Structure 1
């Protein structure tokens, strides 16, 4: 009797475990993602058809396309910001971190008009990473020649 109750409890426990297990996530290579995005472009923006022909979930393809669009806008803006700082320095004007951060916030509003500007802090950490990415430095003027 006790062994039968234990067997029933074990079956219930196994059933609960099976239903609560997480689905294994699938990683896609960059090549496969780009191939799916190319199909999306080839089919004139037909998301369902491109996803089906690429063998990827529609939601994944939708996310990849959105990231591509945002990434392009962001890259153009950041390059503009970097070039603008370089142009100002060529004119002999010192460019400081607060200027770069203020310009970045202004560009954020232009690139992402639907987003709240509070979502982008332009923190000191962001500024440090920006200067590393664009091989920029901030130096103090110590003497003039």
Structure 2
């Protein structure tokens, strides 16, 4: 990540928060429950995005700026802060807007993984190896439930 002392000063404004409540939830509808069971309760078949950002060396894009932009998007668009909670008898759809600017930035930072590669081919190969070949999905963190499976269980 770029050194914060060398990056331009940016701020996050909660005046963009469009919702009046911080957290709201509702039980999943039947059609939504069908999607949960299709993709698996651990989310093994969830979609993900790999975004390659090419920038000229003269105009560097700082990691902190990407995190700040994602945090601002999540504040302005509450659906980007939603998740499915499996704690009760029926899974629930939860929209949990960040409570503070620091919380918004932490959540955004936790959603993004930064890497630098020399060529796009190196990028694709490294990401595919990291997320497809080296990781047993049962041993990964399930952020929706906040648990890590114990490999010995």
Q: Tell me which structure has the larger Cα radius of gyration.
A: 1
Higher strand proportion: 2
Place the TM-score, normalised by the shorter chain, in its bin. under 0.3
Of structures 1 and 2, the one scoring higher in RCO (CA 8 A, sep 6+) is 2
Relative to the length of structure 1, the TM-score reads 0.24
